[in-house]
Amino acid sequence: SGLKFQLSISEFLCNVKVYKPIDPRDIRIILFEAECRILAELDSQLGDYATRQMERMGIEIRVSSQVTRLWEGHVEVDGNVIIPTKTVIWGAGMVANPLIAEIEAGKDDFGRVLVNEYMEVPGFRGVYALGDCAHFKDPKSGMAVPPRAYVAFRQARVVARNLLSAIRGSDPRAFHYSGIPEIVSLGSSRAVLCLHRVRLYGFPARLVWLILYSSLVTGIYNRVRVLTDWLLSLLFGRDITYLRLGK
């Protein structure tokens, strides 16, 4: 999340025409990463490519660094480095919705509800959880499946079918996790993708990302809008609205 924020801010400030009075040389964007490299969960080659792209965009990357304290106008890193700043964006960590904490069911360390192979909450017949709120263990790896939109999309289909099965009195269907491609968007025209042994970089990976993303959007009209908006943004830049707010 932090990486996406950094890329979006860099592109927006440096490319949007309304910010012409701002000299890009006066903008300093720093990405702090606690791991030894960014995108540590991905293939090292993909992470290296992402690092090079971000550095070309003028983003400073500091790995093995943690923000230890912040206050107005400053941020402290690793307990001994103080950097003046006006904007701090925190994009690390993920926990389940606080409402889930009220449910008397088994949960993991992130507050996600434990579910069985049918996405049903054990001990609560007819109650299902999915997406970011659910901890579904992959039988192959023994680890929880990643909280991705594509996973939640597939889980929703299984839950809907199981709800109908409960009404009709038929057998429920188990959710099978077959793995998903690891894709990271790097701005408006680049991305990195890893699917098994296949690796894609740059614009081709971005096209695959767009196709997969649009497949999750409901309705042909909305899918066409997503594709059209993306193509138009490549030709004419971002579509923005500038409001002159007086005192």
Distance CA(197)–CA(153), nearest Å, equals 24
Q: Can you tell me the distance from the alpha carbon of 159 to that of 157, in angstroms, rounded to the nearest whole number?
A: 5
| H/E run at residue 158 | helix 149-168
The 3-state DSSP class for residue 199 equals strand
131-176 pLDDT, tens digit per residue, is 888 999 988 878 888 877 788 888 999 999 999 999 999 999 999 9
What are 33-83's pLDDT values in tens digits? 888 888 776 778 888 888 888 888 888 888 888 889 988 889 999 988 999
Q: Which residue has the higher pLDDT, 180 or 115?
A: 115
Residue type, 41: E
Residue 17 makes CB contacts below 8 A (sequence gap 6+) with 237
Name the E strands within the chain: 29-33, 59-63, 67-71, 74-77, 81-84, 113-114, 134-135, 182-185, 191-195, 198-201
